[in-house]
Amino acid sequence: MDTATAQARTDTAAKPARLPYIDNIKILLTILVVMHHAGQPYGPTGGRWPLTHAEHERMLGPFFHVNASFFMALFFLISAYFLPRAYERKGAGKFLKDRFLRFGVPILFFGLIVFPVLFYLFDPKAASLPAFWFQSVIVEHKFEFAHLWFLSHLLAYAIIYVILGRLGWLGERGVTPRRFPSNLAIGAYAAGLAMVSMVVRHWFPIDRWVFIGVPTELAHLPHYLSFFVIGILAYRFGWLQDIPRRTGQLWLAIGVTTVVFRFTYSAARWRFLRGPETTLDFIWNLWEALLCVGMCLGLVYLFRARCNWQGGFQRFLAANAYGVYLFHLPMLVAIQFALEQTAYGPVTLTVISGIATLAACYLLTAMLRWIPGVKRVL
């Protein structure tokens, strides 16, 4: 690589404030999050949800499984990618102030106001809202994070990053382009991720949450934490701008193949995977790790190659995606309860409630962002 090429890549990677393909990926992930939650009352899920529909659709199970295998990991990678430059540009004080404003304010607003009101509406024994709020929040110290667990992790990781920076452990600032990891190295990471996940899930299965400073589903923490670190490295080494074509195509194919396998396995009711429990656990964790790595790497490559542009509509969707993530849960629950007396099936209810929630939340967010000062949070 000559000096001019290296400098061009450094300049490109050092200015990631607006990357159309990254914005487009965030739009896709936001839609997947909403549709994932839209199916919660209507499919086989182990998570909690205020509404339980009488009829369940079995094929929503692999939809949940596939989504959970990669979409939040990719969110962590993208969030981490923009973190080093923001820290270097703003300095520790302003960086943390902005992070508390963008993440801490929504957590407090939803935890102290929105969620207590939501729980009050679903509690037939509650006498009055003020009494219910005082009892649950002040007396019992109940603080619900719900889907904002993601923001609490990003805030915690930002604080840790600042501490490491203060200690001088982050190394040189800026971007130092390095060769993209080989397929062998990526495969080794996937295998290691499968092994670590298998060990963790032996003690903490999926959907078991613990509070370790922030609410955490330990079963998926190896994915989330490692992809957050990868996101920082991707910025430091200019990787997102330099994914080799063959590498991107290979891992996209692996990701799509693992997705197709999961849906086919459930649709055909295959039961050919038999053997010792430990072996089966590793196979399923390896499948999930390959899907996660394949979809995350493959989608970044695909969107950079094919979707690295934005018109006015895409810019609108990208600008309001964060607000949709924040507001979608209470809006979705309200819409699902409104649809409960209809005769639609589980899949139709999932699609209708999800699309209606997306439309309502995009409209709400766009309106709120006109209020002075709100745009700093949303």
In angstroms, what CA-CA distances link 226 with 76, 143, 190, 222, 325? 9, 27, 11, 6, 23
Cβ neighbors of 228 (< 8 A, separation 6 or more) are 76, 77, 79, 80, 157
Lookup: tokens for 77: 């990678």
Radius of gyration of the chain from Cα atoms?
22
The sign one gets for the Cα dihedral 224, 229, 230, 235 is positive
Q: Could you report the per-residue pLDDT of 198-222, keeping only the tens digit for each? A: 999 999 999 899 999 899 999 999 9
Element (H, E) at 314: helix 312-338
Residue 273 has pLDDT above 70, yes or no: no
Average pLDDT of the residues in 89-118: 95
Give the span between the Cα atoms of 354 and 39, in whole angstroms.
8
At residue 275, the 3 state secondary structure works out as coil
Q: Could you report the per-residue pLDDT of 220-241, keeping only the tens digit for each? A: 999 999 999 999 999 999 999 8
Lookup: tokens for 150: 């993601």
Bridge partners (DSSP) of residue 210 are 216
126 near 132, Cβ under 8 Å? Answer: yes
Give the span between the Cα atoms of 295 and 288, in whole angstroms.
10
Class of residue 190 by CB neighbours under 10 A (exposed 0-12, middle 13-18, buried 19+)? buried
Could you tell me the end-to-end alpha-carbon distance of the chain, in angstroms, rounded to an integer? 41
Please choose, from the candidates 74, 1, 72, the residue with its C-alpha nearest in 3D space to the C-alpha of residue 37: 72
Give the span between the Cα atoms of 153 and 225, in whole angstroms.
9
User: Residue 259, CB half-sphere, CA atoms under 13 Å: how many?
Assistant: 20
The sign one gets for the Cα dihedral 46, 47, 53, 56 is negative
Q: What mean pLDDT value characterizes the chain?
A: 90
Longest dimension (CA), the chain: 73
Q: Could you report the per-residue pLDDT of 45-81, keeping only the tens digit for each? A: 766 788 888 788 888 999 999 999 999 999 999 999 9
Q: Could you report the per-residue pLDDT of 291-309, keeping only the tens digit for each? A: 999 999 999 999 999 999 9
- DSSP code, position 361: H
pTM for this model (two decimals): 0.92
Task: Identify residue 168 by its one-letter amino acid code.
Answer: G
In angstroms, what CA-CA distances link 186 with 120, 190, 192, 237? 48, 6, 10, 16
241 near 5, Cβ under 8 Å? Answer: no
Residue 268 has pLDDT above 50, yes or no: yes
Q: Could you report the per-residue pLDDT of 125-181, keeping only the tens digit for each? A: 777 889 889 988 888 888 999 999 999 999 999 999 999 999 988 877 888 999 999
Bridge partners (DSSP) of residue 207 are none
Residue 4: predicted pLDDT = 40
β-pairing, 215-217 with 209-211? antiparallel
Average pLDDT of the residues in 348-354: 97
Residue 8 has pLDDT above 60, yes or no: no
